[in-house]
Structure 1
Amino acid sequence: MKHYKKIFQKEKKILPYIPTPPAKTSSLVCPINVDLHNIGIYVRDIHGQTSVELALQFKDKLEEFINVLKKFPIHRSHAERRFVYKMMKTMPDLSSQLTHEDFKALSRNITAETWLKGTTVIANEGFYIILKGSVRPRCKVYKKMIEVMSADFFSEPPSEYSSEEDFFQENPLTEYRSLMNPHYVILGPWNGFGTLIELPEPKMGSNFYSLIMEDDCELLKINAKEYAKVKEEQAKIEKLTREQLIHKCPYYRNWPKLSVDELTVHIKWRRYPPGHVLVTDGEIISFVAYIQSGFCKVYREVIGLMKYQLRKMKKKRKRVFMGKLQEKESFGEISVLLQIPFTCTIITGSEVELGVIDAEDMLVLSKVSVTGITCIDAIID
């Protein structure tokens, strides 16, 4: 066994070493790569484009934006309309008070106006965004911002002011833009002024919402009347959507319009992910829900006997699948109106959008008839 390895083991042959010839050196000095010592290259790689490059890029986009706005809306391509929409979304004064639907509607027909140096604009009938040039306010109040509301068509219209004195007496600490020395303030590109809510004509000699052009300016204008039409159209569509949501539920199809209108006023839209528990068996539900999209799974909690040892049984609670609630169906009416516990558990089976009416609002309604409402509780029973 000692000689076993020697029988099959072969000696490794070591080949002779072939030296490599030395590299030829030149008498000339090799040029130094200047870029290796340029810190700006490495900073650009880490932080992206420099502020100068970003400014030039923004200037090019702004020129393109103005050229697109100079076209008639009907002559703009789909890509140009999309470009206008994206540029408007970057304007702080618009994004803070317009919704996604507002941007989509207004960007279709928005245009730019050219104002010569020295001319005066009274911005009581529209909201302006400066695209090129500079503007100097002549008054303390030159911008009126509105709040973005989820149910604008049910909200009350804002109050109107005919002078600066009325404004400051009524709103001493509001979010409006007020300046102690307006003559020393200059507004530049992407700044806004004016109002989206039409105001009455200022009094003779008043500088209310008055601004003067310091240069030849290009202004984007949103007319207050056009904005009001957009909100009115959105309100009609929203109201129709809510009415359809109620009427398409099987047990509301024969309801009179007056009763349905009372329900639609209180509907709030909510979204839930899959697997979210909406209602638990034995609880009094705090809302009435109408399914706009998606579906929910219905389970009943049952108690059964389970054998775990010889001749021994124990009780165990188990969830039994009862069915699904699909689109245009509702649940929760009986539990809310009669204040009785819910008889099943409802879990979202997909992403669900619900039209929800809180229990407090449902109980206040005068036209709701308890006997005319049927819900999932009665079906399961």
Structure 2
Amino acid sequence: MIRRPAVGRRLLLFGLLVGLAAGAPPMPAAPLGEIREILGRELLPEPDAGVLEALAFDDLRGDLRQLDPYADWFPAPGTGDMPAGAGIAAELEVDPDGAWLLPRQGGPLARAGFRDRVQLLAVGGRSVSGMDAVQVAGLVRGEPGSRVRLLLVRPGAPLRYDVTLLREHARSLDVERWDVGGTTVLRITDFAAGRTRTALAATLERLPGGDEPVVIDLRYAGGGDLYEAIDMAGLLLEPGTELCSVRGRGETAATYHATRGSPNGPPLFLLVGPATASAAEVFAGILQFHRRARLAGQPTFGKCQAQTERRLSDGSLLRFTNSEVHFPDHSTCTGAGLVPDLPVSRDLLPNLERTLRKLPLAPDARSGIAAGSA
């Protein structure tokens, strides 16, 4: 499976958190012999034997990333898990620029009028500057029905918002549908195996139809299941269309074709940016290659590689790169990213409403799917 690259720690502020708790109790030692054996056999590219032998538990994550920048190790369930709690139905990510919240459809933050990513400055009057994601989440989460006060600011805007929300348990949607100024926007942040394709198909069926364009927001889609992304691209293309090939170390490439799709849906625009990665890049790249969709935004992260996970004998989990994805012309996005057909400035891209104004959504601008500029 393709997973989100480690460009920041992202947690879900629903009922539970996902991610490893920083500052948790000491973790048990990993079975290094198993790790060396698995990586020596399957890691792509073949690892340096000296670096592999030098793996040590003292800095296992750092050592792993010398071999593979996307490799990781997670302790067995129950060793440092975060406690359950109610949240505000948002994704939290902390990066060097601060703490950020992405509201999820129908949740407390969305009902307060926020549809796009906002920066979180303080919780309950306490600044979150310098905190990691787990520390911030600990302030935001709490008992169901309790209140939490947030100080928020939209990217590039001076106005601050002091809002108080009720914490609640909520479920995220695999495909969210937002109406932004009369434009239908479908937001996908993760490609969940066995779920996201079905959700996208059902959502598209419920749309009015005709030639009204559909915008799929992938700006914060950091990955997920590779084969779900491939299957989703096939949903939007003629059956039999070549989608991509996947090659593991020492293996013959497996080529995938659309099996049950249709190219006759509405015009598509995909919003992408530096956080669009992995499975999301494969999905977007296939549709761009076949000119089924136009990409708008900034170049993507640049990781068309697949990762897999192995459960070790002690219950811990090893994640590592094991294959490369190539488009039908044998190109890959790894190291380069996807180049948008319609560039949108980095300053403008975080503002969904203003970004949509840059797209040729008017009827006289929708003929064909050729690349242009905005």
Normalized per residue, which structure has more helix?
1
TM-score by length of structure 2 reads: 0.21
Greater C-alpha radius of gyration: 1
Question: What's the TM-score once normalised by structure 1's chain length?
Answer: 0.20
